[in-house]
Amino acid sequence: MVAIVGLGNPGRGYKATRHNVGFLIVDALADKLECSLRAGKGEFMVGSCSFRDEDILLVKPVTSMNESGVAVADIVQAYEIPFARLLIVLDDFQIPLGSLRMRPSGSDGGHNGMYSIIYHLQSDSFPRLRCGIGSAEMPRDKSLMADFVLSKFSKSEKPIVDEMVDRASEACLSFATDGIERTMSLFNRKGEEKSDG
C-alpha cells in the first residue's frame, strides 16, 4: 500500500491558494481514480483506491498546515505505512511555478507543514514531491512570504498550475507503481534551485 498525502489548509478561504497545491493534486487523483474522500479516524480525510493492482490511500490533513504532522503520524500508525511508501505532496516557493521535484528524503526546506511531519515522525527519510509555486510576484521581503503563499494564483498562472497539477498526479501514480527512482528520472526537471537536503 502507498499513502499519498497532499498538504494544505482546510476551509473555503484557503481553497485554490498557492499553499494548497497538495490538496489540488490529491483532488485531481481522486477524480482520476474515481475515489471519494471521507472523514478518517484522525485529523484527516482519506480515500482508498487502486491503480494497476496497487492499493493507494489518498489523504488530506484537516489540521492547519503547521500541524500536518499530527495527521501524517496517525495515517502511518493506523495503516502501517512504511516511510518509503509515504509520499508527501507540497508546495515550494523556492522552485519555479510549474516545476516538480521528487526526492526520497531531505530537510523541511523552510516549509512549516514539512517541519511538522518530520517532527512527528522523528525522521526525514520519506519521499516528497515538491511542486513549484515561485513567481515574479514573490515579495523580496521574506516577512511578507506568508501572505504570498496564502494568495491565489493569477489568471495568467492558472494554465501553468493546471498542467503542473496534472503532471504531479501522474508522478504520484508513477511513484505508486514504478517506484521513486524511475519517477524521479521521468518527472524531475533539471536546473532547479535546491530547497532541501
Query: Which residues are known catalytic residues?
Result: 19
Q: Residue 93 in 3-state DSSP?
A: strand
Closest listed residue to residue 32, CA positions, set 191, 178, 171, 197: 171
In DSSP terms, 56 is beta-bridged to 2, 49
Contact 81, 3 (CB under 8 A): yes
Distance CA(142)–CA(78), nearest Å, equals: 38
Q: Dig out the grid coordinates for 20 from the structure.
A: 494548497
Distance CA(25)–CA(82), nearest Å, equals: 22
In DSSP terms, 61 is beta-bridged to 44
Q: If you ran DSSP here, which 8-state letter would residue 96 be given? A: E
Contact 82, 121 (CB under 8 A): no
